[in-house]
């Protein structure tokens, strides 16, 4: 199972980020969340959500979701040459990867709290 985000539904409220922060720190704080609302393009109204997982980084942008493998060489292309891993080889290094809130009775807290159901739990294969 993994977290899936529909960035077009997202309203950028950061409830998911704070819920995840609570899961990590047992207090209200944002620095340890593995789900982060990307909001650095404020004047452009361009925002989305990034989720750090064990081996990948899910970047949910309004135009679509991209999953980057962390530190894994990309598949061989037509040239047969393997490319080096993406430069963000260890994104959000100091944050723990998503554990689907395994020790919480609610299940993934970000899914539970999202007021517009932009976050859901999906099977790996989907």
Partner 1 sequence: MNLYHSYATINQKLAQGVELHYGEEEASVLPRDPRPLRIPRIGVYAGTGTSHSWLWFAELFDRMSFHEILFMTEDMVRDGFLESLDVFAMSGGDTIRIAEWLGQEGGRAIESFIREGGLYIGSCAGAYLPLKSSKQHLDRFNFVDIKIANLSKTRPEAKRMGRKASTNYGCDFVYHPVREDVCLRTTGKEPFTGFEYFRAPLYGGPSMVTSRDSDVLAYYDGFTEKTLFLVEESLAEETLLGKVAAARTAMGDGHLYLFGPHFEHPLFPIANHLVAAAIFWDMKKGRKNWKSLDSESILEGPAKEKLVRDIKREISNSRIVAVGLEAIPVQWIIGCKTYEPEKIRVFLEAIWKRINTLERSRSVCAQSETCEEVVVTASRVTRLLRQMKSRMDDHSDTQDLAWDLFDSLRRLAMIFLQIYFDSFGRSLDS
Partner 2 sequence: MDYLSSNKILIVDLNTGETSEDALDDDLVSQKIGGVGITSSLYETYKDRDPVILGTGLLTGTLFPASALSVISAKSPRTGYLTHSPFTLKAGMELKYTGFDYVVILGRSENPVFLWLHDGVADILDAAELWGKDVWNTTDLLRKSMGDDLIQTLVIGPAGEEGSDLAQVCVNYWANGDCWGFGKVLGEKNLKAVALRGMGLLEISDAEDFVDQCFEIFEAIKGSALEGKRGVEDILIALGESDAREWLAPVVHRHSACYNTPYPTNTFIYLNEDPTTLTEPAEPEPGFMITDIGALLALKKSGLSAADAGHVLRACARRGVDPAAVAEIIGKTGQKDPKAIEQSLEGLQGTVAVPQGAKFSSWVPQNPIFGDFGLSGESSLRDWWVRRQAVAYLFGIHPIFANMSPELSEEVILEMVNKGTGLDLSQETLDQVIEDICS
Give the footprint of partner 2 on this chain (CB under 8 A).
Answer: 8, 11-15, 18-19, 22, 25-31, 39-47, 61-63, 106, 112-113, 115-116
What are the residues whose beta carbons fall under 8 Å from the beta carbon of 124, sequence distance 6 or more? 1, 2
Give the residue with the Cβ less far from partner 2, 70 or 108: 108
* Calpha distance 34→88 (Å, rounded): 15
Decide if 91 contacts 52 (C-beta within 8 A): yes
Site for partner 1 in 10-49 (CB under 8 A): 31, 36, 38, 40
Q: Kindly state the smallest distance separating residue 41's Cβ from partner 1, in Å.
A: 11
């Amino acid at each position: 199972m993994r977290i899936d985000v529909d960035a077009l539904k997202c309203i950028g409220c950061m409830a998911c980020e704070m819920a995840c922060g609570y899961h990590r720190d047992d207090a209200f704080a944002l620095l340890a969340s593995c789900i982060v609302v990307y909001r650095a393009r404020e004047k452009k109204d361009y925002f989305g959500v990034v989720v750090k997982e064990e081996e990948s980084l899910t970047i949910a942008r309004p135009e679509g979701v991209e999953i980057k493998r962390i530190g894994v060489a990309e598949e061989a292309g037509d040239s047969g040459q393997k490319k080096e891993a993406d430069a963000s080889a260890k994104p959000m290094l100091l944050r723990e990867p998503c554990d689907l809130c395994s020790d919480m009775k609610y299940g993934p807290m970000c899914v539970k709290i999202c007021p517009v159901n932009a976050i859901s739990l999906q099977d790996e294969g989907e």
